[in-house]
Structure 1
């Protein structure tokens, strides 16, 4: 394939940065415009829709990107894969849309969820069609290795949604307006995405019949196993919201969804890795490069732990400031659920890339078993804790379910044939996060102005954590420069020179590292002192600012 895993990750991360920026602006607007009750209904409907779409879409989207990425000598392999999955996409989309209309017409929606939600399900029925082809187009492009096209489509989807949904909600269309935004955006992305797919492989392949050697049985088996796996994953995402809606008011659901939204920011980078690794590691698995897969997975675990652990500490320290500032004073009850969710969100962040590598191998029984146990724990704890403790019980239950994912998927990975913690340095990474937590929390507590805290704490925390990671050995001295070398010149070329010097200077390598670590020790101590000084300055500025 004419791309690298790194280029794919960079494409996905770049798009996710834009999408995150749009989400950061649009989510609190929707929360304020819909109110806690309306936002709770909206979150509940999206959860129901996401669970329903598992059976309509997940086997198709996972299958098309996996099998397109495999090295095959079969004639017209890609055309046959595209046509095979497109036919399935059409059939399942039609059946899925008619299914929603039927159960709504027969009154099951009114009985299960209340008559006031009935009208929303007719909108969801149409959304099934557009969302199906949106996801099919994007995942097909990813299977081709064309993240440079698939990821801008995700940006287009988000921007189009915001451009339609926010004005409609503002004009009084409420939840229907928000759903209409999703409908419009997915239709636009589906149209553009299918046109891009057609440029690579003519969609006339839908009418061509593959030979008898085409592995239909294997592909259908993978599809069905993917549906089971994704259903279990989606239950982790959405069962708490669905169950919470049944036991509490919509306002509590809205505040809990707000807490989840902030906790899910920890998944920013892991989601990008998961998106790329399924089809990227399929190629490595087809070449039986197990050592390379273990190296890739374990380094990913280490980097993910360091980054998301630091983000979790910073978010916990800033929770009292960030939640009411982001969502408004009405969302203050979301602070405690957010703090309860963060440990589990960190565990789920670590599990995501491991799961993606396992999916790339294609044998899904171990990932399904691991996810099933975690999902079972999640359901049982939610059923026990929500009736008594409401959204706080949901947060504890979900956090335990999320966190168990990493433990169970490490077991799954070893059964499949790779070790995601071989070079993860869990002890050193944990020590780095623990040591960095003290100055981060102290500086946050000393700054009284919320805007100063939000501006100053993240870069300070990152610098402190980086210094500790290098001093303790959670990161090798060359590794930060290896990441910087991916940037455009002149930064990339200079970083590459430093990395090569640190890695290849055999004669002076030990003394270079020793010197480097002494410099970092001084830098780390300086950062601690300057951090406390910054906190005092921030507190003084906060007294002057309104």
Structure 2
């Protein structure tokens, strides 16, 4: 993996881990303090807001990071890009806020969503403006390749939200308290982010006029296609919650959102790759390095499948334990939709980096078509299944919609000019997941103490899976250390030494046979242990 891309991925993944931890702490607190119904109302509002913001900000954020990353030879290119998108962001933010305010005051919101939710839309009106500049600042920094600045801002956003919202909700502010947390955090991040942008490019460029050959038409075309693409993606994320709110009570929405929260934990690595690859692969596309892009895409697909598959197996094995421990006994209805969502979450995880690499090409009609087909399938199935089956119907529909993304985007990628399955080894990865799943599920069923199960099963399961993955050839023996070598020292340097030694050994046939024999023995032992635990577990 190219080290510049790898460092960007590491910066984003590190942030994702921190945000994941903060989210893992804050979400169950919000669920408990708001209750299932209040959490359902909050989740519904955030889904509506996310869909609305597509038309306000998606073309801005995708465009600024793509065109800054291209670093064209035109005079003052970066200054003109920053200024152009800042002006556009301001116009759209003010326009979006005014439209939302008119909708709230005129009674449109009350007639569509009910009187109980209309008051919250006044808070969302302010959030439109602050969220716009928060996202603009972060994506501008990413366009400059400054993930070391943009990613800590995401942590600041999450921490700022938690610090304000959790106390307010705890002391009775309800959903408004949670929205106040978002408002405070977005103001803070926007201020810090714009100050960092100003250090790189003075924001006085907002008032400078670009030359006549500045590609405004190209940018507007990319923006419009990005809006369509993001809208389709957001429909996959949020349409199930919006539709469920119309057919079921807020408690069902809250429990379904709890299931989604756990399923979405599978995505933190794919999201990090998607975030970096949009602008990192733009340079590769501009150089017509199709073979390099295929190599990068297929290896990423393989790693994404392996990481996400083992997480899905572990989460499925521990679902009965994790849901009530994490959200409380009130959230037990979330267990069934969680299990139904996991297969689709795995497929969506695989699709995300492929989509990002396709976006880097700049030709969006094929990714838009692929996403559009999946989105239509998702909407139709949700409309058919939610009225009859409620949460479970939403989970099945969304899982199929998510899973279809992978198939459609593989087709789209080949049309564009790269093959994400060239070295994906999905069959071997699936075999490794099945073999590792037996001892993992057995171990989870044997350990009766909930906290002990959560502490033991994930690390043991991960090691078992890595052993099987290497044995069946889903991973080369040196690859885990190659991945670790991109980490900061001393981990990176030490892992690189081990990687070089293993590479030398595996080039020797006798050493390779010895490693395979050892892994075979370990695999048979783990497989037999899993079967034994499954049979004897209830008697131990």
TM class, shorter-length: over 0.9
1:206-221, aligned counterparts within 5 Å? Answer: 206-221=206-221
Query: Contact 1:502–1:509 at 8 Å: present in 2 too?
Result: no
1:418-437, aligned counterparts within 5 Å? Answer: 418-437=418-437
Which residue does the alignment assign to 2:523?
524
The alpha carbon displacement at 1:45 in A equals 0.1
Aligned length: 539
In structure 1, distance between residues paired with 2:314 and 2:165 = 31
TM-score (normalised: structure 2): 0.97
Say whether 1:287 aligns with 2:290.
Answer: no
Which residue does the alignment assign to 2:384?
384
The alpha carbon displacement at 1:447 in A equals 1.0
Compare 402-411 and 485-494 and name the one that shifted more. Answer: 485-494
In structure 2, distance between residues paired with 1:505 and 1:465 = 22
Which residue does the alignment assign to 1:30?
30
The alpha carbon displacement at 1:41 in A equals 0.2
Which residue does the alignment assign to 2:509?
510
In structure 2, distance between residues paired with 1:286 and 1:170 = 52
In structure 2, distance between residues paired with 1:360 and 1:225 = 13
The alpha carbon displacement at 1:196 in A equals 0.1
In structure 2, distance between residues paired with 1:400 and 1:448 = 33
In structure 2, distance between residues paired with 1:415 and 1:302 = 20
In structure 1, distance between residues paired with 2:499 and 2:452 = 35
1:26-425, aligned counterparts within 5 Å? Answer: 26-425=26-425
Change (3 A) 1:363 1:499: same
Which residue does the alignment assign to 2:494?
494
Query: Contact 1:477–1:513 at 8 Å: present in 2 too?
Result: no
The alpha carbon displacement at 1:519 in A equals 2.2
1:420-499, aligned counterparts within 5 Å? Answer: 420-499=420-499
Query: Contact 2:244–2:253 at 8 Å: present in 1 too?
Result: yes
Which residue does the alignment assign to 1:17?
17
Query: Contact 1:13–1:269 at 8 Å: present in 2 too?
Result: yes
Query: Contact 2:131–2:186 at 8 Å: present in 1 too?
Result: yes
In structure 1, distance between residues paired with 2:356 and 2:13 = 16
- Structure 2 unmatched ranges of 5 or more: none
The alignment's C-alpha RMSD in Å is 1.8
Compare 239-248 and 482-491 and name the one that shifted more. Answer: 482-491
TM-score (normalised: structure 1): 0.96
